[in-house]
Amino acid sequence: MQGGLLRAKLDGKLGKMAFPGHRAIVSDEGDFLIAFGRNAPKQEKITITFEDGQVLERVFDVEQRTFETDKIDNLPKDMVELDMPTRVKLTQAEQKLDAVRKKYTKKTCFKEPFIWPSKGKVTSRYGQPRVLNGTDGGIHWGVDIAVPTGTPVRAPACGTVVFAEKNLPLSGDTLIIDHGQGLTSTFIHLNGFAAKVGDEVKQGQTVARVGMTGRTNGAHLDWRMNFFEVRIDPELLVTSEK
């Protein structure tokens, strides 16, 4: 599915892999992840050549999705029409976040079922085009969960905190957990942190508090997930109401 993630394991030693448009790294144990972006085509093909010369081809039929437009009005003008200093800071912040998300680690926390970091009404979903005060606001890449300021944000799976900084442009207080092999969770609009960079966290552990920092018109948690540079849909990974 567009926005989806597959967990895969090779039965045999990899020689080479051809998967156009994708980044897939096979661990020493044969584990690897496959992500399909928001605009993934209807079919994508992977070709795996094993060390013994055997070739495996797999064509994925990717379910196409429609995304309802998310309209938000009555935002302050400076939140929609960014001045040049803010644009520069935003570009710098995005470059820093991209660098963190593109790192590969050997952790395998993605193997456990994911849980909701906070439980509340979902007010905006992954992939929705946004119209802010009647103008194009780009794509919303996360899942917005409406919960009060101060609500604990729990790690949806184990991992390592690899980023925790306050007052980023638009995102406000932001924290990233690395779940391993290129898979990360990003939480934005926070109100401070309960964990710091380098902390190993367990599933369900409080890592931050919900806030309304950055560009937001109300308290909520925005949970985003990446497989390296590919934005994926967190809701598709949650299999537990724990």
At residue 191, what are phi and psi to the nearest 5 degrees?
A: -125, 65
User: Which ranges in the chain belong to alpha helices (H)?
Assistant: 77-80, 84-101
Segment among 28-37, 65-74, 76-85 with least mean pLDDT: 76-85
By CB atoms closer than 10 A (0-12, 13-18, 19+), residue 125 is middle
By CB atoms closer than 10 A (0-12, 13-18, 19+), residue 189 is buried
- The CATH number given to 70-240 is 2.70.70.10
Return the domain boundaries, the chain: 5-61, 70-240
pLDDT computed for residue 136 by the predictor: 87
> What does the pLDDT look like over 165-220, one tens digit per residue?
999 998 999 999 999 999 999 999 999 999 999 999 999 999 999 999 988 888 99
Whether 159 contacts 151, CB under 8 Å: no
> What does the pLDDT look like over 12-35, one tens digit per residue?
999 999 999 999 899 999 999 999
**DSSP secondary structure string for all residues of 137-200:** EEEE-SEEEE--TT-EEE-SS-EEEEEEEEEETTTEEEEEEEEETTEEEEEEEEEEESS-TT-E
**What does pTM read for this prediction?**
0.94
Whether 144 contacts 122, CB under 8 Å: yes
Instruction: Provide the edge-to-edge strand list for the sheet that holds 135-140.
Output: 70-72, 128-132, 135-140
Bridge partners (DSSP) of residue 49 are: 16, 55
Residues ≥6 apart with Cβ < 8 Å to 128: 67, 68, 69, 70, 139, 140
